């Protein structure tokens, strides 16, 4: 599965250059051109990393990331900006960024910074997630255990569980689930999704995954 980046950059030429370069490196890049559009897309989609310009229309990058962090979204972020004062650097890190690169920059340097953060995030997430007192999931081995016994899941059920764990206590629209669980060339099935949900509920408990009519599903941690 490709690493997915959100790129907020209102300079169309630079945006296209970054998108082309990172797509050649095997990334998926979603470009946006103002802060409000970025905020709306972040609420509707999951990303592995944000690349954020600061001086953009409607909502600047600093305020955007502050609002994202207030929603308990910990997706790593790198600012790409021409602002070069120490005050700007300090404000950037205080707003919740993980790195800060000043324009102009070499695309290779930006790539190296992105790769470093992604690797760090992956190692940090290589852990055992406690779902309940007797249920755990290992992000390293992809094993779901109940009462210390491994629970066998098929590939779709495994992907669905991981997606829920990445977006706990959030309403996930059916379309987002289809996009994540089914490959782009596969025909998704609402009946199949209900079957996968049913099988996960047998292990996790029926109240753990809630169906919200016409909205989607929510994985409850409480």
Our CA angle for 208, 120, 10, nearest 5°, is 90
The pLDDT assigned to 125 comes to 54
The per-residue pLDDT for range 8-52, each reduced to its tens digit, is 999 999 999 999 999 998 889 999 999 999 999 988 888 889 999
17 alpha-carbon distance from chain centroid: 23
Partnered with residue 171 across adjacent β-strands are 218
Q: How confident is the model at residue 122 (pLDDT cuts 50, 70, 90)?
A: low
Confidence of residue 73 (pLDDT cuts 50, 70, 90): confident
Give the pLDDT band of residue 127 (cuts 50, 70, 90).
low
pLDDT score for 109: 87
Task: Write out the two tokens for 25.
Answer: 């490196």
Percentage of residues in the chain with pLDDT exceeding 70? 92
Per-residue confidence at 201, pLDDT binned at 50, 70, 90? very high
Does pLDDT of 217 surpass 70? yes
- The string of pLDDT tens digits covering residues 74-111 is 888 898 887 766 666 777 677 778 888 888 888 998 89
Q: Are 157 and 196 in contact (CB under 8 A)?
A: yes
**Is residue 45 within 8 Å of 51, Cβ to Cβ?**
no
Q: pLDDT tens across 138-180, in order?
A: 876 778 999 989 898 888 898 899 888 888 888 888 888 888 8
Residue 124 has pLDDT above 60, yes or no: no
């Amino acid at each position: 599965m490709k690493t997915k980046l959100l790129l907020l950059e209102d300079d169309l030429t630079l945006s296209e250059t970054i998108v082309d370069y990172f797509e050649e490196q095997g990334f998926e890049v979603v470009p946006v051109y103002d802060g409000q559009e970025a905020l709306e897309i972040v609420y509707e989609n999951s990303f592995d990393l944000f690349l954020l310009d600061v001086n953009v229309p409607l909502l600047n990058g600093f305020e955007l990331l502050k609002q994202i962090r207030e929603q308990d979204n910990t997706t790593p972020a790198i600012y790409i900006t021409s602002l070069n004062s120490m005050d700007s650097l300090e404000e950037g890190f205080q707003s919740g960024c993980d790195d800060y690169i000043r324009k102009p920059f070499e695309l290779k340097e930006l790539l190296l910074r992105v790769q470093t953060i992604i690797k760090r995030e992956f190692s940090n997430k290589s852990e055992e997630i406690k779902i309940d007192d007797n249920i755990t999931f290992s992000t390293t081995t992809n094993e779901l255990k109940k009462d210390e016994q491994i629970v066998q899941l098929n590939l779709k059920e495994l992907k669905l569980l991981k997606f829920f764990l990445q977006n706990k206590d959030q309403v996930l629209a059916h379309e987002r689930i289809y996009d994540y669980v089914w490959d782009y060339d596969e025909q998704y099935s609402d009946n199949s999704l209900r079957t996968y949900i049913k099988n996960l509920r047998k292990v996790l408990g029926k109240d753990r995954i809630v169906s919200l009519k016409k909205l989607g599903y929510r994985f409850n941690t409480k």
